Structure formats: structure tokens, C-alpha cells
Amino acid sequence: MVTMQNDDNIEYLSEKIRVCIKRRFGDDCEIADIELATLGGSNRTVLFDVVRGSYPLRLVLRQETVPSEYSPFLPSDMQYRVLEVVYEHGIPVPRPVFELEPADNLGQGYVVTAVPGETLPKRLINSAEYVTMRARFLQQSAEILAKLHTIDHVLVPGLSALQESSDPLGAQIALYDRYGEPHPAIEFAFRYLAKYEPEHGAVNFLHGDFRNGNMIVGTEGIRVLLDWECAHTGSVMEEIGWFCARSWRFGRVDLAAGGFGDRETFYRAYEKASGNLIDRESSRWWEIFGVMRWAIYNIMQSHGHLSGERRSPAFAACGRNTGIIEYDLLKIIAKEFD
């Protein structure tokens, strides 16, 4: 059984955060309007105001709730360094404020500025309020990714040493093997992907989970990117394929580019922004890889619930979701789903 910090009592958290903030900003500060976010899977997210006089500053605590040795995601110290680097290079992310220290008694994590906006994918795809944003979304996404992919990954020590960076398929097989559950559809996908694996080409800085749902959006467009715990290095085609994977269309399966438009529109926008051509066959391989990876992540989340490591109705539902994703995976390999 994993021992982890999992106390969601808001009063308990409030007092700890209050002490943490006073250590950094002074005894004349207070915290207010603390809110425990209900969305997000790999970290606890707590929003709160720091109040000095009449001026409130809205901040967000991202608190590691599962020790990194039990998770494929970056430990919080690497996540924070990633945020610092991409923020310095003009990628739209919440401003990093500080990392947690042992004296804070809050475990591992960090604090960033809060950014208002919407994150719910179906609302962004379907609500009339976001019609202007939808018209800009693919172009904005392409421009942000093109800029991100030019950042020198050596600025984040250890990023290129991750197994997901050096051997992406092997990393997913190792994660799958950890849970000891037989999933023939996933094992078939392993063999298919191993047989047709393309040359991956140049190594670039990747977000690793760039998609609808991992960003804060306003009516005017994308405001900030969230959830950098999957950052690693690799082929640009991995990022493009993940963005277009069927799992991230949220009901608009006819619109392959994240539920917002067609692949070619997104491909051309990225090619124009980056000056680099998209390899269409390689991107399709990475789309299949992405659906397989998402199935394994659902196994991981379901296992967390069943084992008692981190119980949650959302994680419990991932067991059901795995079967749905496996069905999609086989249909995509058979070219019966686009």
C-alpha cells in the first residue's frame, strides 16, 4: 500500500497554506477564498487569494499527491523547472511563484499565479460563447507548439534522460506491465506499433499532453497551457499525433484536430508557423500510439482507485473507459475510424 498525502479537508489545508504564505510574504498577509478544484488527475489543485491590505492576488497550489516512484509523470521539482523555462521563453503559462520546501509541511509541489478562464472541453467545442476562440484555436495551437519546439531541452536537466524521451514505446510497455492486467487489444497495438515504427528524427522539447482540456481559454483564445507533468523530449510528430488523437475530440469525431477542425488545416498552420513539414504517415502512427497511451493511463488511474492508493469516482470510471478506448484503438488500426 502506498503512503501518500491525501487529506482534502479544506480547513486543514487552509491552515497549512496560511503558514506557508506568511513565511514568504510576511505576517501582514492573509489568505481567503480557498477552493479545492475537483478536476485534474495527477496532482491536487488548490486555489486561494493572498490578501495584503485591499489587494488580493489569486494563486494556485499544485500539490503532488502520489509519490513520483508510483507515477510516470515528472516529479514536481522538474515540473517547476519546466514552467520556469517555458515562461522565460514566452510560452503562455501561469507565472511560477515558488516551490514548496520541507518547512512548508505540504509535501512536494509549487505555487503559480491563477488565470481566469474556461477549461471544460465540451463547453469550448459547443458553446456559442466561444465561437471566436474556435475560429482561432488551431492557428494559435500551431503557433504555440512551433515556439515551444524551438526551446533547448537541456535547460531542464534530466528531461532527455527519461525513458519516455529515449524509448517512448518501451516506456508505455513498461508502464502497462506494472499493473499485470491482460488487455489483448493493447498488446496487439504494441506489436503493430513496433512493426511500423517510423524514424523519429530530431529531438525537440515537448509538452507531452497538449490538447483541449489542458489549457485555460477565454472567448478570445488560448490564455495559458496547463499540466506539464508529461513534458519530455522527442519527435514533433508525437505532439502533433497526440493533439489529433480520437480521444481528444470530445464528441466531434469528424474534426480530427482536437474537435476544432480538420488535420490538414492544423498541419498547414504548424508548417507555416514552424517552417517544418509534417510527415503525414508518421503523424498517423503517433495518433495510434496516443490512443494506446491513453488506454494505459486509464488502467493506471483505475488501479489507483482499486488498490486504495488514491480513491476517486473519476479514477474508478477509468476502468470502464479503458474498454471504450481499446475499441477505438482496434478500429483505428483497422482504418475503420479516422
- pLDDT, tens only, 89-120: 999 999 999 999 999 999 999 999 999 999 99
Q: How many CA atoms lie within 13 A of 73 on its CB side?
A: 23
Q: Are 10-113 and 121-333 the same fold in CATH?
A: no
Which cell numbers in the block locate residue 12? 486543514
Sign of CA dihedral 86, 92, 98, 104: negative
Q: Which of 207, 277, 198, 203 is nearest to 234 (CA)?
A: 203
Residue with cell 510527415: 279
Alpha carbons 23 and 94: distance in angstroms, whole number: 22
CATH of domain 121-333: 3.90.1200.10
CA separation (Å) from 319 to 65, 67, 247, 273? Answer: 20, 22, 15, 39
Alpha carbons 298 and 318: distance in angstroms, whole number: 5
Whether pTM exceeds 0.75: yes
Q: Which of 227, 224, 176 is nearest to 329 (CA)?
A: 176
pLDDT value at residue 10 = 82
Beta bridge partners of residue 36, listed in sequence order: 46
Digit-coded pLDDT (tens) for 15-33 = 999 999 999 999 999 999 9
Residue range 295-304: mean pLDDT, rounded: 93
Alpha helices in 55-212 (DSSP H): 76-88, 121-126, 131-148, 163-166, 168-179, 184-196
pLDDT value at residue 3 = 33
- The domain segmentation of the chain, as residue ranges, is 10-113, 121-333
Where would I find the beta strands (DSSP E) of 198-319?
204-206, 215-218, 221-225, 232-234
Beta bridge partners of residue 56, listed in sequence order: 51
Alpha carbons 75 and 215: distance in angstroms, whole number: 20
CATH of domain 10-113: 3.30.200.20
Average pLDDT, the chain: 93
Q: Please say if the pLDDT value at position 263 is more than 70.
A: yes
Alpha carbons 325 and 185: distance in angstroms, whole number: 10
Q: Please say if the pLDDT value at position 46 is more than 90.
A: yes
200 class by beta-carbon count within 10 Å (0-12 exposed, 13-18 middle, 19+ buried): middle
Alpha carbons 32 and 133: distance in angstroms, whole number: 32
DSSP state of 102: G
Which cell numbers in the block locate residue 213? 482540456
Q: Does residue 71 or residue 193 have the better pLDDT? A: 193
Beta bridge partners of residue 109, listed in sequence order: 63
Write out the H or E segment, with its range, that includes residue 51.
Answer: strand 43-52
Asked if 261 contacts 142 with a C-beta cutoff of 8 angstroms, the reply is: no
pLDDT value at residue 7 = 52
The radius of gyration computed from the CA coordinates of the chain, to the nearest angstrom, equals 20
Asked if 252 contacts 259 with a C-beta cutoff of 8 angstroms, the reply is: yes
Alpha carbons 265 and 196: distance in angstroms, whole number: 26
